[in-house]
Amino acid sequence: MMTLITPNKAQEMLAKNIRARRLAIGFTQAGLSERSGVALATLRKFERTGAISVKSLCKLMMIVGGLEQLVEASAPAQSEFTSIDEVLASSKPRQRGFRS
């Protein structure tokens, strides 16, 4: 799957979205920091730059909501095959024949 979003842009968007969630539920940075266990300086830097560890991001998402969706989004895509027989059957070359 091709995407046009860069990792830096994704970080900026995550920071913006989490900040919006924080404000929507009425938390200050200090309040979210206290509830999540993420250092206030880390939260401030994240909202400013998008830089944060995965563990801290998960802690924030646990409080503002969306942690389950984040985990689900990282799950591998469901395979279209249910058995090795299906895989093998799909990879057999088509037989060529003469048509009359």
Each residue of 32-73: pLDDT tens digit?
999 999 999 999 999 999 999 999 999 999 999 999 999 999
- Helix 54-64 × helix 40-49 angle, to 10°: 90
pTM score, two decimals? 0.75
Backbone dihedral angles phi then psi of residue 21, each to the nearest 5 degrees = -65, -45
User: Domain 7-85 sits in which CATH superfamily?
Assistant: lambda repressor-like DNA-binding domains (1.10.260.40)
By the 8 A CB rule, do 42 and 35 touch?
no
Q: What value, to the nearest 5°, has the Cα angle with vertex 81 and ends 80 and 82?
A: 125
Instruction: Report the C-alpha gap between 34 and 67 in whole angstroms.
Output: 18
**pLDDT over 70 at 30, yes or no:** yes
Domain ranges of the chain: 7-85
Is the distance from CB of 43 to CB of 28 less than 8 angstroms? Answer: no
pLDDT for 32: 98
pLDDT of amino acid 89: 81
